[in-house]
Structure 1
Amino acid sequence: MKEIQAIIQAFEEAQQQGKQTALATVVHVQGSSYRRPGARMLITQDGQLTGAISGGCLEGDALRKALLVMAQQQPMLVTYDTTDEDDAKLGVGLGCEGIIHIVIEPIVPGRPDNPIQLLKDINAQRQHAVLVMLFSLNDRREVQPGTCLLQLPGGTVSARLSNEALQKAIATDAKTAFINQVSATKTYVAEGKQFTAFIELIKPAVSVVIIGAGNDAIPVAQMAHVLGWQVTVADGRPAYATAARFPTATRVLVAKPDQVIEQVTVDAQTVFVLMTHNYNYDLKLFRQLLNRGLPYIGMLGPRKKLVRMLDELKAEGIEPTPAQMAAVFGPVGLNIGAENAEEIALSIVAEIKAVIAGRTGESLRNSADTIHPRVEKEIEEVKLGD
């Protein structure tokens, strides 16, 4: 989401300066690549780049292609085969042994369904969304529709496609992806032509609620902000919970434990870190958080602190379920040998990222699997009636 926010801001600046822009999006990858489908980069007519579609090797050539797209005002599909020696000679050999397909679209500011406007619609609310990119893999000379549909909780925004059956099928699959909360790639055969759709689930930014406004909370807020997360800091001490101490936080609340939840939007991307150094404050809030279905509750302090809290809750007749305890991380953070506040903050933020991504946080060197999971299966093909 941070990349999307940066692209929106760069587009606004380009508009003020009267510059033409194009948006490059990774839509399909075969094998290995530095960035995965959904990676984006905004390109201006004078060569300014915001975002990234690779580790830096494809950007130069993509810029040249984007200038052509701006001139022709037509989307283009560009394919880079990093297993091909000829591509390596052109300076785009990534050593990743993969094939990367990228759609580059011109941005027409006056169109309400242009890709940047749709990204703005996504960014405007803390809701999951599905964005559909349509392209032709088997015929690059074919017209590339590009971004054609946005599925939001309240409905859809879509470009009018020439084939109604194709448009209906894409809309149905976008709704399915929204319900199932998973991205998909499908190929549709209509009127003798093949089009592939990257149906992308876009999640809102992680919202981290830091309970405690002590000095050790400051680097946690700073690092979370660098990642593009929304940061809320809450503490009962007005002298500590101030915007001056936490300038990068989205919100700073002065609140008692029973007042925090009512002021925070809690969803599947919301995590809490309890670090007030006030046992009773943390306990009162911990009691409220257990039944919220949160993916992550971090507890600063030694293990015996959490054990004591659980014993007190049990004495009250509250016994967390295994599912609830799976979301509780105490002591908080990954084991990286952290000592000072900044190192502890790094271990906390890294652990949150690992949990949200469904990873263990182990060293990549020790993993027998690839960095990005590869699902090398045939793209589902759907034949539509004429």
Structure 2
Amino acid sequence: MKELIQILGQLKRLLNSGESFALATVVFVEGSAYRRPGARMLIDENGNWWGGISGGCLEGDLLKKAQLAMRQQTIKNITYDTREDDPFQLGIGLGCQGLIEIIIDPIRAHVEQVAEQLHICLDSGLAHTLQSTWEGSNFSIQAVADTSGSFTQEGNKQIFVEQIPANTRIWIVGNQFDAISLIQLCQQLAWEVHWVGNKLKMNPSVRDSVQACYDWNDDLLVRNTDCLVLMSHDFDRDVEFLSNQYAVDKWSYVGILGPNKRMDRILKQIPTLQVNLLSSPIGLDIGAEGPDEIAISIVSEILAVKNGRNGQSLKHKKGSIHL
């Protein structure tokens, strides 16, 4: 999501300029590949690019093809087949063995449509499914109900269906120094951070960098895709927060900092609490020590929960890495 936000930021600048640019989109992958369908790469006429379609091995070649598409102002379909280490093919020495199909679109009006739809998706805070259709020189993009995700081609008509997830919005409750480490890590991922605590005790520079700040008793407008991390280091504060209208089933993730004994005390205070919806102790078991490592553990668990994964080492996973 961070990459998509960066691309949209650069697109805003390019669309307000007279520069040429192209947007490359991965529409199909077969076998092993570093990126999945929906990955994008924005290229300007000066050879700068944002985003990516691989781990760095294909971008240089795609840049040349995108510059040609810009000069000709024609849509181009590119296929990279890295399934064989053929010394006469681009795939030699690449870490992934897969087939990747990419559409490069240099038409300003087309990219404007894409930017508009992506902004709508991100601003809504909800997941969306978008369908892009190329047919000759014509292009359209729209939200659809289909959630399967696919790429089909019939003659000169190409249809790409993709899922745009909701950007992660996290509420961090507490203003101790360990909250700052978590805030900064979430910001690196371009997550939308909302900070709850005593505003007078919040670090001013960090307070000014988050999406919004709230005092302990302020009303919070919560979406069911939001994540909550309680790290107030104040038992009574946590009990009060969990006892009010912010029921745990309103969140996609609820994590509470502290040991099992602390959680047992909370349950004695709130026996109706849906403990199966809580992560406490919080985070993945990676032996984290100190605020920065604990922040990594927490963010890793949030990603695992949101993506339906168990947090195991990939070497133990059977089958494809990507579901």
Asked if these proteins are the same fold (TM beyond 0.5), I'd say: yes
Q: Find out whether 1:143 has 2:136 as its counterpart.
A: yes
Q: Find out whether 1:240 has 2:196 as its counterpart.
A: no
The equivalent of 1:353 in structure 2 is: 303
The equivalent of 1:282 in structure 2 is: 238
Contact 1:107 1:114 in 2 (8 A): no
SS at the partner of 2:124? coil
**TM-score, length basis structure 1:** 0.77
The equivalent of 1:155 in structure 2 is: none
The CA deviation at 1:98 is 0.7
Alpha carbons of structure 1 residues 364 and 72: separation in structure 2 relative to 1, 3 Å: same
SS at the partner of 2:166? coil
Alignment of 1:79-118 (within 5 A): 79-86=79-86, 89-90=89-90, 94-108=94-108, 114-118=113-117
Deviation track 1:106-142 (CA, whole Å, cap 9, x = no partner) reads 1415x6953223323333332322222335xxxxxx8
Q: Find out whether 1:264 has 2:221 as its counterpart.
A: yes
**Which moved further from structure 2: 342-351 or 84-93?**
84-93
The equivalent of 1:377 in structure 2 is: none
Deviation track 1:299-336 (CA, whole Å, cap 9, x = no partner) reads 0011111111112212xxx253xxxx333000101111
Q: Find out whether 1:273 has 2:244 as its counterpart.
A: no
The CA deviation at 1:266 is 1.7
Distance 2:249 2:236 in 1: 20
The equivalent of 2:187 in structure 1 is: 225
The CA deviation at 1:247 is 4.1
Alignment partner for residue 165 of structure 2, among 203, 210, 213? Answer: 203
Instruction: Let me know the Cα RMSD of the aligned residues.
Output: 2.3
The CA deviation at 1:228 is 1.2
Distance 2:303 2:273 in 1: 27
The equivalent of 1:170 in structure 2 is: none
Alignment partner for residue 152 of structure 2, among 181, 187, 195? Answer: 187
SS at the partner of 1:90? coil
Alpha carbons of structure 1 residues 304 and 223: separation in structure 2 relative to 1, 3 Å: same
The equivalent of 2:282 in structure 1 is: 332
Contact 2:105 2:111 in 1 (8 A): no
Distance 2:116 2:92 in 1: 31
Query: Aligned letter for 2:322?
Result: H
Contact 2:128 2:163 in 1 (8 A): yes
Alpha carbons of structure 1 residues 364 and 116: separation in structure 2 relative to 1, 3 Å: same
Distance 2:162 2:312 in 1: 28
Deviation track 1:352-378 (CA, whole Å, cap 9, x = no partner) reads 1111111111111222333213xxxxx
SS at the partner of 1:272? strand
SS at the partner of 2:163? strand
Q: Find out whether 1:344 has 2:306 as its counterpart.
A: no
The CA deviation at 1:249 is 1.5
Contact 2:242 2:248 in 1 (8 A): no
Query: Aligned letter for 1:279?
Result: F
Contact 1:26 1:38 in 2 (8 A): yes
The CA deviation at 1:18 is 3.0
Alignment of 1:12-91 (within 5 A): 12-15=12-15, 18-86=18-86, 89-90=89-90
SS at the partner of 1:218? helix
**TM-score, length basis structure 2:** 0.91
Distance 2:17 2:230 in 1: 45
> What percent identity do the matched residue pairs reach?
35
Q: Find out whether 1:306 has 2:306 as its counterpart.
A: no
Deviation track 1:130-161 (CA, whole Å, cap 9, x = no partner) reads 222335xxxxxx83755x2221xxxxxxxxxx
Unmatched tracts of structure 2, length 5 or more:
none
Contact 1:58 1:92 in 2 (8 A): no
Alpha carbons of structure 1 residues 196 and 245: separation in structure 2 relative to 1, 3 Å: closer
Contact 2:28 2:151 in 1 (8 A): no
The CA deviation at 1:196 is 4.2
The count of aligned residue pairs is 322
Query: Aligned letter for 2:142?
Result: L
Alignment partner for residue 215 of structure 2, among 251, 254, 263? Answer: 254
Contact 1:76 1:144 in 2 (8 A): no
Q: Find out whether 1:215 has 2:180 as its counterpart.
A: no
The equivalent of 1:124 in structure 2 is: 123
